[in-house]
Amino acid sequence: MTASDILRMKYTSDRHLALSTQNAIGGVMQSARGVASDIYSGIERASWYSSCFIPQYNDVCQELKAEEIRTIYSIESIFRYRDVIAHMLFLYFQLVCKDVEEGNNEGSARRLIRNITGVAASVPAAKATRTAFSQAASVAIAQSGIMSKVVAERLSLQIPKTVFALQFYGLQQKSALAARHLKAMYPDYYWALYQAKLEMLYYFAEPVISAMIKKLMSRSFETLDELTDFIRESYNV
């Protein structure tokens, strides 16, 4: 089961799309500690809504409301894309590959492209090569056991209806804070996700993607082959 399959299960209830807090909780599980953490974050987010009753904090109130809308868009995107996690990674690799050379025609990047996508190893246009690499790398990581484990751990078991709304708001709070952090750390990627209505899903893949962002920012890769070798060593794909 891929990471995107786990997300889709989470936000599906009785085979209907979950588009609001009334039907957004499905059935993928995590530890009781994680559920408690979600509920605590839900209480925290609910308390922030007190800002809506204080005129001088109207900007905070509007930001919270905007995040609610963006959350609905992101939930819709889980079902709009065949593999939403892979698409998020694809957008990231397209940014990374802008200034990276193609590499050897028989190098590791071309082998990854051939193994994952079935595209011929010799792609004539540099732009096409980078696009093919972005697709291959994103699929490889999205379908890896590492990514599936991360997403599963960030979701939780079905819980009693009396606390369900708080847990949902807890996930929403964590998603909003993760998106804000990404906006400060890597604005270009944040806006790429925003335009695709995906930034509120970043939280679920954050441990993998944020670690990759930090590592890639601290190192420069001259070729796609060097980048491929780094990905394979780091994520066992």
DSSP string, 181-209: HHHHH-HHHHHHHHHTT-GGGHHHHHHHH
Cross-strand pairs, 13: 16
What was the pLDDT predicted at 57?
Answer: 67
CB atoms within 10 A of CB 62: 12
Structure tokens at 198: 């995906």
Burial class (CB in 10 A: 0-12, 13-18, 19+), 127: exposed
Residue with tokens 């990514």: 147
What was the pLDDT predicted at 14?
Answer: 35
Q: How far is CA 24 from CA 69, 157, 202, in A?
A: 14, 13, 18
What was the pLDDT predicted at 31?
Answer: 40
Q: Residue 68: enclosing H or E segment and its boundaries? A: helix 58-80
* Residue in 227, 197, 208 with CA at minimum distance from that of residue 130: 227
What was the pLDDT predicted at 188?
Answer: 95
The DSSP call for residue 96 is H
One-letter identity of residue 139: V
- All structural domains of the chain with their residue ranges: 3-235
- Taking the C-alpha atoms of residue 211 and residue 88, their distance in angstroms, rounded to an integer, is 15
CA–chain centroid gap for 181, Å, is: 13
At 139, phi and psi to the nearest 5? -65, -45
Predicted structure pTM score: 0.75
Q: Residue 13: enclosing H or E segment and its boundaries? A: strand 12-13
Residues of the chain with pLDDT under 50: 13-34, 119-125, 158
